[in-house]
Structures are given as C-alpha cells and as structure tokens.
Chain A
C-alpha cells in the first residue's frame, strides 16, 4: 500500500462519536442542583451568626485586656502607697498622707502626658 493509497483509505473512516451520556454528564456537573444548593436565607443566617460571634468575641477580649490594665494600675498604686506610708512612719495619718502624695503624683503625671501629647510646654 503506497502513502497515497493509505491516505485514501483513511479518508473513508472517521473517529467514533462520544458516548451519548457525556453531554448530560457535563451539563449536570456544570449546572448546580437547586435541591442541593445552599438556600440564600441559610447563607445569610450563617453570615450573621459569624458576625455576632466575632463581634462578641472581640468585645470580650477588649474587656479582658482593659480589666487587666486596670488591675495592674491599682496594684502599682497600692505598692506605692504602702512604701510611701512606711517612709512617712506607717501611722494612719502617714497612710493618709501617702495616699494624697501618690494621687497627686499620678495627677501630675497625667497632666504632663496630656501636655506632651498636645504639644504644649
């Protein structure tokens, strides 16, 4: 068989067609099944629930951090008052004077911080 004869013979044939089910299989996969699709209301509900949980969690974390800062500040203040009262003499009057001194020092520090932040000298 020559090359020309072979090509002529090949021209009498074609490749077999795809199985009939292939088209349906493709379209079935490509088109979402409405019965199995996630309902819109469910998606919205899930999103809202996530938002609430996240916001709640975030505010809880903020509250915890804020409380920890307050506790640390109070602990420092008590230590300062105790040590100042010891220096003054440890009496009731000395304790009251120590409280007044520590509070006055905190007030001065707060005022200085505010002035520094606003650029005042």
Chain B
C-alpha cells in the first residue's frame, strides 16, 4: 500500500512503480471489488493511464495512485447492477508465513469480510490486514478519523455476528 517510500528523487520507470505499489493496490482493489478479474482490469487501466501521462506525474505518486485506484473501484461499483454484486474472488485470504494454515478459519474469515458493506470492507483491509493507523486511513480515504474509527468498529461487530451464525 502506498506509503510514499520513493527513494530520494530518483525517477522510476513504470516497472519499478508497479513493483513497489502495484501488488498492494491490486490487493486493495480485490477486497473492495470482490472480483479478481475486475481488480486486475482496474490496476491495468490505472497504470496504463500513468504510462501515458509520465510528464505530468505528481510528486506524491503513491497517494495519487491510491486515489486513482480507489476512484476507479468506486466508479465501477456504482455501475454494477445489484444482481452482479456476487463475490468472484479465489482465495482472498492467504496465511501469513510462519502460521499454520487453518483452512476452516481462513474460509470463515474470508466469508465474513466479503459479507461486509464495501466501505467497511475497505477499512477492515486497511486496518486489520495492512496495519494502517486510523489517521493514515482517514487521510487515504479523505474522511474524518472519527468516521473511519466508527466504521471499523461496526465492521468488527458485523463480522462477529456473521461468524457466530456460521
């Protein structure tokens, strides 16, 4: 996920920018869209657009790319019909190295995440899976810290309810 880690002012080519930011942006798009194909398309389109505008790149490219991907994801969600809003992701969650893969738990947590409204899914990803602070999340999504914190709390409660039923 973008954290403005660009070393010095060294210009990066597109491959370097992708290597540094692409995978995290793709993961974000996967969680928000709940669709592997669409997530790949969004990342592809954002980077293709970036390649065509290399002369006008903003200095803070990390934040710029995150906002571009986020805007593209939310625009796509708005265009979606309700009946198409079925998750289409394979193995959304993977076990972090060093931990035992408990398949039942992994699938249950994955289902719980995908059951959340998109805005809550977004904040759960950024906070619980990416380890962002609420301040960072608020800056990224352009909302207040209180709103983001409250949304996260609701998301955790919703996941608890989902898991207790299943």
Contact = CB atoms under 8 A, between A and B. Distances in A.
A73 to B, nearest CB: 56
Interface string A1-32: 11100110111111111110011011101110
Nearest to A2: B160
A2 to B, nearest CB: 8
Interface string B102-135: 0001100100000000000000110011010000
B27 A15 contact: yes
Given A3-B160, A13-B109, A15-B94, A26 B48 contact: yes
Interface residues of B, number: 43
Contact of A26 (B18, B91, B95, B105): B18
Given A13-B109, A13-B129, A1 B48 contact: no
A16 B15 contact: no
Contacts of B164: 1
Contacts of B26: 17-18, 22
Interface in A12-56: 12-19, 22-23, 25-27, 29-31
Interface of A: 1-3, 6-7, 9-19, 22-23, 25-27, 29-31
Given A2-B160, A26-B43, A31-B51, 4 more contacts: A7-B128, A15-B94, A17-B23, A22-B26
Interface of B: 14-15, 18-19, 22-23, 26-27, 30-31, 36, 39-40, 43-44, 47-48, 50-52, 90-96, 99, 105-106, 109, 124-125, 128-129, 131, 153, 156-157, 159-160, 163-164
